[in-house]
């Protein structure tokens, strides 16, 4: 890999840890859960967000060694498998089926829906703010614009603010990152005569600045796609796919988000990958990771650990080779012990979602776990930290027992144990009906304990960008 030039770090940012004494309250009931009750994954608490039972550090097997947790395979029994490193030898942790850790399911649902012209997740972004969230998406009205809005924990959605609207410019692919001064918005437009990556800082209210001054992150003959931003150990970074329109090669490029340092390739065009989507996130307190899907060349879902300075640490590791068109990947951060990756793949015509724990340095910390497989069919999964574990959102595809596609949620402890009912069946919870395609969902949890889910809902009547806010409403 190419050595990374040094970059100047912006002001060091530390997000408050998400210590929830709450769990998701959902409209409707789960596939398997009794109505009105949700079992807390891992039995975490506000006092101890990491409580929740032992781990499952059983080695680093890849596809062939996956734990089929969704169907009760190896490691996926109703009672979670114990890890002697975290509990007394021979004892099993039943924290995620403890009947005392329950929540009432409320019928609260808060949604914003907007007609849009983009076709996948590159056209919108949902990111946690100081409190609540920032949201941005592209829209044609009739010219290309970027719409932005803050989403608070309670109350009606604000009307989105509008940026640009120049009919001579084409605006695509947006990213949003919370910074000390508000939010950094990054997008692609051709206002300078060439499609380039642009950036500017907006206030917490996400209202247009009095004077819009673009800062160009790129200036070349390449096509920039799918920008992502992340804070890694206090450094703000932007990454994107750079496509050579002549050679038809692709690279993943990273640069300081404020354009203070030079751009460099994390995944070089000469490496022979053809990345189509990716995720960028911090792992632990001082590291990070890039996870990407390559479809046509060196097909697979790949993981590349990063240092605090954004340097590649080693070579990409293939998590799965079972990819087809439209597979996705997402990352989540736990400052205490690393994080996790979730990816959607196709295996023999079956749509599956798989989960893997990661160490603070980006190493594999557990077996691969099938969180959606078998009788369940899902794709486009997203992942966020939730107290002592994670919440996974995905598109549940139509089956013989569930004829209508939906957006659903499920819960995973930090060790990879799934929330189950008394019979050992995985509990998943419906959020809304949705189209079976439309790109990756984005689920995020704010520092004040709110969940926001964004996704594209495509139909014959046109595409809509939908944002659903869910109240976290349990006491334990």
Tell me, what CATH number does 328's domain have?
Answer: 2.130.10.10
In a domain, 293, yes or no: yes
Read off the pLDDT band of 473 (50, 70, 90): low
Read off the pLDDT band of 159 (50, 70, 90): very high
What pLDDT score was predicted for residue 247?
93
Flag whether pLDDT at 127 surpasses 60.
yes
Burial of 151 (0-12, 13-18, 19+ CB in 10 A): buried
Read off the pLDDT band of 258 (50, 70, 90): very high
* Four-point Cα dihedral 413, 411, 107, 351, nearest 10: 180
CA nearest neighbour of 188 among 168, 169, 172? 172
| % of the chain at pLDDT higher than 90 | 60
Read off the pLDDT band of 109 (50, 70, 90): low
Flag whether pLDDT at 6 surpasses 60.
no
Q: Please count the CA atoms within 13 angstroms of the CA of 29 that sit on its side-chain side.
A: 8
Flag whether pLDDT at 241 surpasses 90.
yes
In a domain, 166, yes or no: yes
Backbone angles phi, psi at 208, to 5 degrees: -60, 135
Buried-state track 378-393, b at ≥16 Cβ within 10 A, e below 16 = bbbbbbbbbbbbbbbb
What is the total count of domains within the chain?
A: 1
| % of the chain at pLDDT higher than 70 | 76
CA nearest neighbour of 342 among 390, 271, 399, 284? 390
**Average pLDDT of span 51-78:** 35
What pLDDT score was predicted for residue 114?
95
What pLDDT score was predicted for residue 7?
32
- Position of tokens 């076709």? 119
Lowest mean pLDDT among 48-62, 265-279, 283-297: 48-62
What pLDDT score was predicted for residue 5?
35
**Average pLDDT of span 381-387:** 94
Strands 223-232 and 249-256: unpaired
3-class state of residue 71 by DSSP: helix
CB 27 within 8 A of CB 21: no
- What residues make up the domain containing 342? 37-470
In a domain, 20, yes or no: no
CB 65 within 8 A of CB 368: yes
**What is the C-alpha to C-alpha distance for residues 154 and 160, in angstroms, rounded to an integer?**
16
**Average pLDDT of span 130-137:** 96
In a domain, 442, yes or no: yes
In a domain, 18, yes or no: no
Query: In angstroms, what CA-CA distances link 135 with 15, 177, 185?
Result: 18, 10, 10
In a domain, 353, yes or no: yes
Query: In angstroms, what CA-CA distances link 87 with 81, 302, 358, 412, 415?
Result: 11, 32, 20, 19, 13
Flag whether pLDDT at 41 surpasses 60.
no
Flag whether pLDDT at 260 surpasses 80.
yes
Better pLDDT: 60 or 254: 254
In a domain, 335, yes or no: yes
What pLDDT score was predicted for residue 266?
97
Better pLDDT: 51 or 217: 217
Instruction: Provide the token pair at 381.
Output: 């999964």
**What is the C-alpha to C-alpha distance for residues 427 and 346, in angstroms, rounded to an integer?**
22
Lowest mean pLDDT among 4-18, 27-41, 284-298: 4-18
Flag whether pLDDT at 467 surpasses 70.
yes
Instruction: Provide the token pair at 423.
Output: 């019979």
What pLDDT score was predicted for residue 372?
93
pLDDT, tens digit, 9 for 90 and up, residues 411-464: 999 888 998 888 888 888 899 999 999 999 999 999 888 899 999 999 888 999
Flag whether pLDDT at 52 surpasses 50.
no
**From the CB of residue 441, how many other CB atoms can be counted at a distance below 10 Å?**
29
Flag whether pLDDT at 319 surpasses 70.
yes
What pLDDT score was predicted for residue 214?
85
CA nearest neighbour of 225 among 196, 201, 246, 248? 196
In a domain, 190, yes or no: yes
Contacts of 152 (CB under 8 A, 6+ apart): 131, 132
Better pLDDT: 87 or 153: 153
What pLDDT score was predicted for residue 274?
95
Lowest mean pLDDT among 28-37, 183-192, 319-328: 28-37
3-class state of residue 337 by DSSP: coil
What pLDDT score was predicted for residue 78?
27
């Amino acid at each position: 890999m190419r050595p990374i030039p040094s970059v100047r770090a912006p002001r060091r940012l530390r997000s408050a840890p998400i210590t929830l004494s709450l769990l998701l309250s959902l409209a409707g009931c789960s596939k398997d859960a009794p109505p009105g009750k949700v079992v807390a994954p891992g039995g975490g608490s506000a006092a101890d967000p990491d409580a929740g039972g032992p781990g499952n550090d059983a080695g680093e097997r890849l596809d062939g060694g996956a734990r089929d947790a969704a169907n009760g395979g190896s490691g996926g029994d109703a009672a979670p498998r114990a890890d002697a490193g975290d509990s007394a030898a021979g004892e099993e942790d039943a924290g995620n089926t403890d009947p005392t850790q329950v929540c009432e399911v409320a019928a609260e649902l808060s949604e914003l829906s907007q007609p849009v012209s983009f076709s996948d997740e590159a056209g919108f972004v949902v990111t946690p703010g100081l409190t609540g969230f920032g949201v941005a998406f592209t829209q044609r009205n009739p010219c290309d614009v970027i719409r932005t809005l803050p989403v608070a924990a309670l109350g009606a959605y604000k009307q989105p603010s509008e940026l640009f609207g120049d009919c001579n410019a084409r605006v695509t692919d947006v990213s949003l990152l919370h910074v000390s001064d508000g939010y950094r918005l990054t997008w692609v437009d051709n206002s300078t005569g060439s499609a380039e990556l642009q950036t500017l800082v907006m206030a917490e209210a996400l209202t247009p600045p009095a004077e819009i001054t673009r800062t160009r992150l790129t200036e070349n003959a390449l096509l920039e796609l799918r920008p992502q931003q992340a804070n890694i150990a206090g450094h703000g970074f932007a990454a994107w796919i750079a496509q050579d329109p002549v050679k038809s090669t692709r690279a993943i490029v990273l640069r300081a988000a404020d354009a203070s340092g030079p751009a460099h390739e994390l995944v070089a065009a000469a490496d022979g990958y053809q990345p189509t989507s990716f995720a960028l996130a911090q792992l632990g307190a001082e590291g990070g990771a890039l996870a990407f899907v390559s479809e046509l060349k060196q097909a697979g879902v790949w993981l590349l650990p990063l240092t605090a300075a954004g340097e590649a640490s080693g070579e990409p590791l293939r998590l799965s080779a079972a990819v087809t068109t439209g597979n996705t990947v997402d990352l989540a951060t736990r400052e205490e012990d690393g994080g996790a990756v979730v990816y959607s793949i196709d295996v023999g015509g079956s749509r599956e979602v798989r989960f893997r724990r990661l160490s603070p340095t980006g190493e594999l910390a557990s077996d691969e776990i099938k969180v959606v497989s078998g009788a369940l069919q899902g794709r486009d999964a997203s992942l966020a930290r939730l107290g002592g574990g994670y919440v996974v959102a995905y598109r549940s595809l139509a089956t013989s027992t569930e004829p209508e596609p939906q957006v659903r949620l499920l819960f995973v402890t930090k060790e990879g144990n799934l929330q189950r009912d008394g019979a050992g069946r995985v509990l998943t919870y419906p959020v809304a009906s949705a189209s079976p395609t439309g790109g990756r969902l984005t689920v995020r949890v704010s520092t004040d304990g709110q969940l926001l889910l964004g996704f594209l809902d495509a139909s014959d009547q046109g595409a809509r960008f939908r944002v659903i806010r869910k109240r976290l409403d349990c006491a334990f």
